[in-house]
Amino acid sequence: MRALQGKVAIVTGASRGLGRAIAIKLASLGAKVVVNYRSNTSAAEEVLSLIREVGGEAIPVQADVSIFDDAQRLVKSTLEHFGRLDILVNNAGTTRDGLLVRMSEEDWDIVIDTNLKGAFNCTKAAQRRMLKQRYGRIVNITSVAGLAGNAGQTNYVAAKAGLIGFTKALAKEVGSRNITVNAVAPGYIPTDLSASLPPDLIAKGLDMTPLGHPGTPEDIANAVAFLVSDDASYITGQVLSVDGGLAMQ
């Protein structure tokens, strides 16, 4: 029997990058997966196809998680189709990099609203069902930047650091209902999102990484799969760095 058989998972921002890998991994372990995406329908359909190839079951749900009503609709659609919700992976994210002195209010707001408020919106929507079930697994995708900071990314770092605090506070609120809340902090993982990073910054990051090479989206997916499994049932409020050792620097 597969480890997540009978479980239902929402993965936000699942049409590409880390979310794509996480959705496919959870489906391969038996979970029924809701592939959330904001605008790229064709990419979401490709993820669904890959999930079906591994014998999984999934549906796509378009929703902009930075909008509260969209997050509510995402959860409502999940419950209407599958009848339950066990796992929420708050992965959706974006960047608008630049030095603070030149950063616009819009670039600040977009990053905070997607990366941090999006997690609030989706968790708020999902929490009621998890509390009623007395079971839930929530994983927030943060970043080593949220632990150590990164010049030129004050908006992104503020959002990712906020996610860490959100994780710890919520873990204390819902632990008595058998709901765990953890975070995964990736290091440098080549994805569409990280492709905009300056080459010199990437080189510096890899030079500071003890393992000396980038990770893969599958590395992050494996960590998430562990945290939502029964093997991690006594782990909550933790931040798991999957970064080749970068966070030690």
Catalytic residues: 156
* Helices of type H across 134-244: 144-148, 154-174, 199-207, 217-227
Give the list of residues 6+ apart from residue 234 with CB closer than 8 angstroms, or none. none
**Cα(221)–Cα(240) distance, integer angstroms:** 12
Count Cα neighbours of 76 within 13 Å in the Cβ-side half-sphere.
9
162-179 burial: b if 16+ Cβ within 10 Å, else e? bbbebbbebbeebeeeeb
How far is Cα 28 from Cα 87, in angstroms, rounded to an integer? 15
What is the C-alpha to C-alpha distance for residues 200 and 208, in angstroms, rounded to an integer?
12
Helix or strand (DSSP H, E) at 112: helix 105-112
The count of other CB atoms within 10 Å of the CB of residue 242 is: 20
Which of these, 103, 216, 200, 68, lies nearest to 111 by C-alpha position? 103
Give the integer Cα–Cα distance in Å for 237 and 158. Answer: 19
Which structure tokens are listed for 218? 């599958």
